């Protein structure tokens, strides 16, 4: 009986330790930011804060890359509105304006230390997974990555993916097309 309790206690400690290590930890010190998430470590500089408005189109695919609270393809709302005025529905592959939309889309990683922002980001990602195109607005800052490691090896990311530190996140409209 005592052996079973010890085994259960050890297993519980292992699970708690694994959960703690896999959880993303964000530390902001002035204009500097450190992010630890599983085997990923990022050190960067936070650029001046701004408000951003995007449409969220597709969930990013992350194979041993840092994906933060969301890895998603976005299009600036202003660009999306201009394309819609000029071409109508530009989301179909052969639609006029589709090439311009694809060329204007960017992969972004969103990171936050706010539970409320995490929850709203999760809601927006659920809409994306359901093939909706949410219009979102967030206050935050781009992260200029100074150092990035994965499994303690240096990582050089030339993909053009932007990282944002998000302070406040809102879903303005659940679907851009409606």
Q: What is the pTM of this model?
A: 0.82
Q: Is residue 128 part of a domain?
A: yes
Q: Is residue 78 part of a domain?
A: yes
Q: Is residue 48 part of a domain?
A: yes
Tell me the pLDDT tens digit for each residue of 148-163: 888 888 888 878 899 9
Residue 56 to residue 92: CA distance in whole angstroms = 16
Q: Is residue 19 part of a domain?
A: no
Q: Is residue 139 part of a domain?
A: yes
Find all residues with CB under 8 Å of 168, minimum gap 6, and list them: 114, 116, 117, 138, 139, 140
Q: Is residue 8 part of a domain?
A: no
Q: Is residue 6 part of a domain?
A: no
Q: Is residue 17 part of a domain?
A: no
Structural domain that includes position 72: 24-173
Q: Write down the pLDDT at residue 19.
A: 41
Tell me the pLDDT tens digit for each residue of 17-41: 444 444 789 999 999 999 998 889 9
SS3 173: strand
Tell me the pLDDT tens digit for each residue of 56-68: 998 877 666 788 9
Query: How many domains, in total, are found in the chain?
Result: 1
């Amino acid at each position: 009986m005592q052996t079973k309790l010890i085994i259960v206690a050890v297993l519980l400690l292992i699970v708690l330790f694994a959960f703690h290590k896999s959880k993303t930890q964000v530390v902001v010190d002035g204009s500097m930011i450190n992010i630890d998430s599983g085997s990923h470590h990022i050190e960067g500089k936070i650029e001046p804060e701004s408000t951003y408005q995007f449409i969220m189109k597709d969930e990013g695919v992350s194979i041993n890359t840092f994906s933060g609270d969301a890895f998603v393809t976005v299009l600036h709302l202003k660009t999306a509105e201009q394309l819609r005025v000029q071409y109508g529905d530009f989301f179909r592959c052969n639609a006029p304006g589709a090439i311009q939309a694809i060329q204007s889309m960017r992969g972004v990683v969103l990171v936050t230390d706010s539970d409320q922002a995490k929850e709203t980001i999760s809601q927006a990602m659920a809409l994306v997974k359901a093939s909706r195109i949410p219009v979102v607005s967030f206050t935050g800052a781009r992260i200029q990555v100074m150092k990035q490691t994965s499994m303690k090896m240096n990582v050089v990311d030339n993909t053009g993916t932007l990282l944002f530190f998000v302070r406040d996140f809102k879903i303005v409209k659940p679907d851009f097309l409606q």
